[in-house]
A and B are shown apart, each in its own frame.
Chain A
Amino acid sequence: MTEPAAKRSTQNEERRTDRELVYAARAGDMLAFDALFYRYRDGIFRLGLAITKDPSHAEEIAVDTFSRAYRALARLEPEGSLRPWLYRVAVNLSYNRRPRKGVILSPLEDSANDTFQSEDRSPSVLAEQAELRRIVLAAVDTLGPKHRIVVVLHYMNGLNLAEIAQVVDCPIGTVKSRLHYALRRLRAHLSAHPEFGIEPMTLLVPTSRRMVAPAVEPLPGEPQ
């Protein structure tokens, strides 16, 4: 295959739906499988990274996830996107690995700082922002796995509630209440840090981690 031909064919792969690519890969078209891989590898890598905090674990999770997809090609029947299936596998694989203790995201931030803050800002402002990020991510880590994964999928991977529901395999209402609960917990957590300007909780004080969801009262004006 000549170089331009290869390029053209890659572009064709990019236009095909996941379903088309799965069927093509099943028939032995390796370009199709590669296209699926390139389509989702970064998202899955990040998902693994957000949960395990370890880039090498995240890469293994990505390889494992796609290797499962490869071996499951014969049974895969994606309705629309293959993403929920892949993410679900990746989430399970991620939680089967022990997150590294005490490595609260410093390895995740370093490489991105330069591109993220291209606008010129003073080192003290950058340090302050890094500290705020650290606090937020540490607060997310205090959530239980069910709530944390919903936060990660929504705020990091950008999935909407319906997509998250497919990934975690529960009703959308459950996802919604998990996300709301997580946000309340984060609010309580972050109100302890004056930098965020969040008012200390007067009507909701879920400070003890032993408290369960129903112990938190709904916010005023909140439906149900």
Chain B
Amino acid sequence: MADLFTGELHVRERLELEAHADTCARCDSALRDLATISVSLDRAYAPLRQRGTLLSPARVRLAARLEPRTVVPWWRAGFVGRLSEATMALGFAALVLGGSLDLAVKPDAIPSASTPSIIKDYMRTQPPYEEAAYVRWLRFQLRAIGGASAPAVRYPVGGQFDVEQFTSDDASFNTGAPR
């Protein structure tokens, strides 16, 4: 009977059911109740159906490049890998101590010379909230990934997935996206 309200009933079945309800008080009442519930559910979700989000695809691309963070050790993941929580903690610790992080890490974990300070890097890796600034920031991050000082990050998703299969030149961000 609920099929009547989920669009799953053929016209003929529907007519038969309605004809039966005309002569049967119990079915008639059950049908009315189901109609009430269907309409109530529809109304209850109506405000939600009008909600949307202004999320940008740039957010997705960045997330796709950053995850899964646990697989790639942060000191090998290059620039963006430093977004990892451990690194944030280290960044804070270094801030608190007022010293360079270089003193706090083992020699083999020291960032290459082209990335001067992990504290500055950490600050730079904070995404700005505003959209245009965010895209600028993102381009900067992606350039950093592709840079010689930072090895490409590879993600093992269902086997092999090479992140470099996607170009990160600026043109790919001028999407002319509808607003």
Give me the interface of A with B, judged by CB distance under 8 Å. Answer: 1, 3, 6-7, 9-10, 28, 30-31, 33-34, 37-38, 41-42, 45-46, 49-50, 55, 58-59, 62-64, 66-68, 70-72, 74-75, 108-109, 111-113, 115-116, 129, 132-133, 136-137, 140, 151-152, 154-156, 158, 160-161, 176, 179-180, 183, 186-187, 190-191, 196-199, 203, 219-223
Contact = CB atoms under 8 A, between A and B. Distances in A.
Contact of B175 (A34, A59, A136, A179): A34
Secondary structure of the B contact surface, majority rule:
helix
B2 interface: yes
Nearest to A196: B36
A63 B175 contact: no
B63 A220 contact: no
Contacts, number: 185
B98 interface: no
Contacts of B40: 132, 136, 190, 196
B49 interface: yes
11 contacts: A1-B176, A3-B176, A30-B172, A59-B53, A62-B53, A63-B59, A63-B60, A112-B47, A179-B2, A203-B26, A221-B24
B24 A220 contact: yes
B55 interface: yes
B155 interface: yes
A203 B104 CA distance: 72
8 tightest A-B contacts by CB?
A6-B176, A112-B47, A136-B44, A67-B63, A70-B64, A156-B45, A30-B172, A67-B64
A33 to B, nearest CB: 7
